[in-house]
Amino acid sequence: MIPYGRQNISREDVEAVVEVLRSDFLTQGPTVPAFERAVAEKVGARFGIAVNSATSALHVGCLALGLGPGDSLWTSANTFVASANCARYCGASVDFVDIDARTANMSSQVLADKLHHARRTGARLPKVVVPVHFGGQPTEQEAIWELSREYGFRVLEDASHSIGASRHDEPVGSCRWSDITVVSFHPVKVMTTGEGGMALCNDDRLAAMMQLLRTHGVTRDPQFMESVPAGPWYYEQIELGFNYRMTDIQAALGLSQLLRLPDFVATRNRLARRYGALLAGLPVKPLEVAAGNRSAFHLYVIRLPTPDSARRRTIVEGLRDAGIGVNLHYMPVYLQPYYRRMGFAPGLCPEAEAYAEAAMTIPLFVGLTDDQQDVVVSALRTQLTSVP
């Protein structure tokens, strides 16, 4: 099976991990802070807070932004469930914004209309908006940031797909147009730590709060304590936090992978361009990359000319039988049973629903060979011509 995505591990990556295994610290040692500094520097953010997953980063990010019961978080309909679940962890409600059919990213126009409508009708405005850089392509962050000034919400970018991408030469993660940006290091993503994630920000107080929350709400820094330290062993728990720490083993892999991030993104872009050329003439529509964007191409998504979930299913099954690991990213989150139980129903985001009946993700990863790519395209051609 040619998978839709997979990690790329070098000998150097293995050696970096082994070095930590032989060292004094498997966790809470020097490698996590070194990884945080390296990522923050790479993307141009002041702070990087490493955690054990992007899901955890979304959770502590939402808490640091003050999201709680009675508040609302808005995110894209076309995303992984974690972008919405983080609101539920905080006791907040969720609402979904439809996509721009060209990119499958949250539409900033739909967001503007929905905000305007909410203000006009007295409906609840969001406290936090989570734009998702779908497939590795940055969202229209400057427009979303402008809306956040007008409507008073905070912006938490879910950049789980897009470390290494940029918009108008601004690297994703710099938080130029957001409060916090979250990245994922899951093995299918652009670079990996096995499991892992990071929250990036430029604000001292947000950074300090997320650092606290990832490790039980416990501090050893006297400036945050209520009492004078009673001795060198002394710590205080000042918030209700979690154990969301990344290990030094993971951070060592991350530091090593980070060195290859520019190559990873260049390779993914090369393979995406090659797909674009090979697919020209076939009755499928790749997603567009908007002017000014450089995608990290976490995913390569194509769409059938018209939404047709039965035909798409037959084609996907045919491709899988031919050994091609095709996937769907994503069914609209609000159509998941958990969200339907809250009253969400089809019709909320028509573009995302049409997209989800036409889209498929075909294999794209750093080790994908030109030959494998040709096999994918030829199997796809067979399916497209044989399935009416």
The residues that touch ligand PLP, with contacts defined as CB under 6 A, are: 53-55, 79-80, 82-83, 132, 158, 160-161, 184, 186, 197
For residue 190 the two structure tokens come to: 């652009």
Residue for token digits 């964007």?
293
Q: Between residues 59 and 294, which has the closer beta carbon with respect to ligand PLP?
A: 59
Nearest distance, CB of residue 86 and ligand PLP, angstroms? 9
CA distance 326 to 31: 36
| For ligand PLP, the closer CB: 79 or 103 | 79
Contact 293/137 with Cβ under 8 angstroms? yes
Nearest approach in angstroms of CB 256 to ligand PLP is: 18
Count of residues making up the chain: 388
CA distance 249 to 345: 43
Q: How far is the CB of 51 from ligand PLP (least distance, A)?
A: 9
Measured from the CB atom, the residue of 160 and 174 that comes closer to ligand PLP is 160
Compare residues 106 and 315 and give the one whose CB is closer to ligand PLP: 106
d(CA 246, CA 27): 7
State the minimum distance, in angstroms, from the CB of residue 250 to ligand PLP.
11
The least CB distance from residue 201 to ligand PLP, in Å, is 17
**Least Å distance between CB 82 and ligand PLP?**
4
Q: How far is the CB of 161 from ligand PLP (least distance, A)?
A: 6
CB 96 within 8 A of CB 74: yes
Pick 133 or 380: Cβ nearer ligand PLP: 133
Is residue 283 a contact partner of residue 304, using CB atoms and an 8 Å limit?
Answer: yes
Which of 20, 291, 5 has its CA nearest to residue 135? 5
DSSP per position, 73-137 = EEEESSS-THHHHHHHHTT-EEEEEPBPTTT-SBPHHHHHHHHHHHHHHTPPPPSEEE-B-GGGP
Token look-up 């304590």 returns 225
Q: Which two tokens stand for residue 128?
A: 């936090």
CB 128 within 8 A of CB 154: yes
In this complex, which beta carbon is closest to ligand PLP, that of residue 53 or of residue 361? 53
For ligand PLP, the closer CB: 196 or 241:
196
Sheet with 166-167, edge to edge strand ranges: 170-171, 166-167, 293-294
3-state helix, strand, coil in the chain (%, to 5): 40, 15, 45
**Nearer to ligand PLP among residue 55 and residue 267 (C-beta):** 55
Closest distance of CB 314 from ligand PLP, Å: 26
Residue 111 and residue 105 in contact, taking contact as beta carbons nearer than 8 Å: no
Cis bond upstream, residue 89 (ω within 30): no
Give 55 or 383: the residue with its C-beta nearer to ligand PLP. Answer: 55
Least separation in angstroms between CB 55 and ligand PLP: 3
